[in-house]
Homo-oligomer: A and B are copies of this chain.
Amino acid sequence: MASELPATAWTVLGLLSFGRELSGYDLKKWADNSLRFFYWSPAASQVYAELRRLEKVGYASSTVARQDDLRNKRVYSITDAGREALQRWLHEPAEPTVLKHPTMLRVWLGHLEGPAALTKVLDGHRADLTEQLDAARHAADHATDDASWGAYPAAVTRWAVRRLESELALLDDLERDLAQPPTRRNRRNK
Spell out A's residues near B (CB within 8 Å). 7, 10-11, 14, 17-18, 34-35, 38-40, 83, 86-87, 90-91, 93-113, 117, 121, 124-125, 128, 137, 144-145, 150-156, 158-160, 162-163, 166-167, 169-170, 173-174, 177-178, 181-184, 187, 190
Contact = CB atoms under 8 A, between A and B. Distances in A.
A102 B94 CA distance: 6
Nearest to A86: B112
A39 B104 contact: yes
A32 to B, nearest CB: 14
B94 A38 contact: no
A7 B162 CA distance: 29
Contact of A166 (B86, B93, B94, B170): B170
Given A90-B117, A170-B162, A98 B97 contact: no
